[in-house]
A and B are shown apart, each in its own frame.
Chain A
């Protein structure tokens, strides 16, 4: 391998690393936002809060519909 060829390979490797780091950052951000790091207890509390508000809002809607 000539020095010129070596230089060319280094340039390609640097470019690939740069693209790789950039893509890694994007993927990491996407995963972090899509999968918040909640503990099992926090997840359960969040699900419970949603379910509780579902019930309250179902009752409010039923009242508005004259069913209760």
Chain B
């Protein structure tokens, strides 16, 4: 029994140190993508960021946006940070693919900046979902 516990401890410890880089990158990407889609839903009332209006993307038109205080200025700030986050994530993803040591510090810092903007919005279920998705984008 003692041996079994020792073997299982070694297995657990060994596996804990080998978290799948693809899984980490995929989870982080999906969370950021979900955050972007929720922001698009709040701002324009569309299904996702791909369905953004063709013109005047810089203005939020959905009634919910004004209700919760998603002004055009906050919409711009959030999307500026999200754009930087996706570009940074792309670099980290390439690094992970090549087997390099991936440092998520800069991405986590960007995510904190997005969260600070989201914290200025009025409380609503969609805002909570947005905050949770943004948080999950970090590591």
Contact = CB atoms under 8 A, between A and B. Distances in A.
B19 A34 contact: yes
A51 to B, nearest CB: 5
Nearest to A58: B86
Nearest to A54: B90
Q: Which range holds the interface residue count of chain A?
A: 20 to 34
Interface residues of B, number: 40
B6 interface: no
SS of A interface (majority): helix
B8 to A, nearest CB: 6
A43 interface: yes
A35 B24 CA distance: 11
A10 interface: no
Given A57-B33, A61-B83, 9 more contacts: A43-B97, A47-B97, A60-B36, A60-B50, A60-B52, A62-B80, A63-B52, A63-B57, A65-B80
Interface of A: 16, 19-20, 23, 27, 30-31, 34-36, 38, 43-44, 46-48, 50-51, 53-55, 57-67
12 contacts: A23-B4, A34-B19, A36-B20, A36-B23, A47-B97, A50-B93, A54-B87, A54-B93, A62-B83, A64-B43, A65-B75, A65-B79
